A and B are shown apart, each in its own frame.
Chain A
């Protein structure tokens, strides 16, 4: 039993489910508590394994944290061997970074098509969007985050939020309008 917990950053399956649930609800305190405490270990692993520069290893681990955060919330990462998965992913990021490749294949069954941030928009536009986002109400942030970031469809959101499908659809539309107006207001 302890061996399984070790493989999963000391998380039991039910604790992992709670972590996932918290992430869906927009609370990432537990995620941070668990994953940030093993960052140094992962960085050192990359440094040792690939004779990597500390900063490059740091970047790989940060990218992995962000990806892991999203994939846990998406339900694409499962309890089993999180430690191995995390290390593998960080290694993949490091190797990809070194190869300057934009996309990599990952053999681990839990995830495929691991990719770097798709920088489709300029930093400037993303900054403006961030300002608009901050001004958006919490309910809107939640529904848009669930839909876009966590890849939840409207039916799933309505289940989580105890709202009807139609009301979630309307809310999403209203929130998009609001975000758009705030975005242009900050131009």
Chain B
């Protein structure tokens, strides 16, 4: 591999001229390639990454689902799982996967945020979701989740409290309850858990938590 610093330190020789030419060519090709990719995506909706991301999501979704099943089975087999263990298990469960970009909602910050979220770079995800010009309900939900997974339960609670109505209503109740429990606000957490109805997301887990003395004894 050539060293451009060395090449530039003596630009007079014909050999150096050729090397500078090669470097400029490579750089211009990179530049053109990236321009063409951007234009293809913007004008024709053709891109490579999205397919890759979806494939990655599919795979990660599969892994996540398997892990959730294993964790759920493990929890079910623990007759006396205590409150702290349950809470730790639930807060540290495999993060929900972001399903990816929606066609027509392309946005650089959103793209970065989703990638950061799905690769568990929570700080970057929070910043990038926050940088989206006109965030939709999903963006705000995943920003709140990023704060939750980051362990910033105060910020997560505030975000969950301020979310607009979305398709993630059941998820919001669950994650808000977990954030509140982490913050020691058990009475409000209990109310949230009690609002989860049979058939709704995390009903069984909520019931399991409600059976624990720490919540059961709250009037």
On A, residues with C-beta under 8 Å from B are: 28, 32, 36-37, 39-40, 43, 54-55, 58-59, 62-63, 65-66, 69-70, 117-122, 125-126, 128-130, 133, 144-145, 147-149, 176-177, 179-180, 183-184, 187
Contacts and interface: CB of A to CB of B under 8 A. Distances in A.
B36 A120 contact: no
B8 interface: yes
Contacts of A70: 29
Contact of B29 (A43, A117, A122): A117
Interface in B62-95: none
Contacts of B51: 54-55
A62 to B, nearest CB: 6
B219 interface: no
Nearest to A176: B11
Given A36-B36, A43-B46, A66-B32, A180 B8 contact: yes
Contacts of B60: none
Interface of B: 1-5, 8, 11, 17, 19-33, 36-37, 39-40, 43-44, 46-48, 51-52
A36 B40 contact: yes
A184 B48 contact: no
Contacts of A129: 4, 23-24, 27
Contacts of A117: 26, 29
Contact of B2 (A55, A120, A133): A120
A148 B24 CA distance: 7
B1 A66 contact: no
A145 B28 contact: yes
18 contacts: A32-B39, A36-B39, A37-B44, A39-B40, A119-B26, A120-B22, A120-B23, A120-B26, A121-B2, A126-B23, A126-B30, A128-B4, A129-B4, A130-B31, A133-B24, A148-B21, A148-B24, A148-B25
A58 B48 contact: yes
Given A55-B51, A125-B23, A129-B4, A36 B43 contact: yes
Give the one of A32, A70, A120, A179 with max B CB within 10 A. A120
A59 B3 CA distance: 27
Nearest to A183: B8
B46 A39 contact: yes
Contacts of B46: 39-40, 43, 58
Given A58-B48, A180-B8, A122 B26 contact: no
A59 B108 CA distance: 21
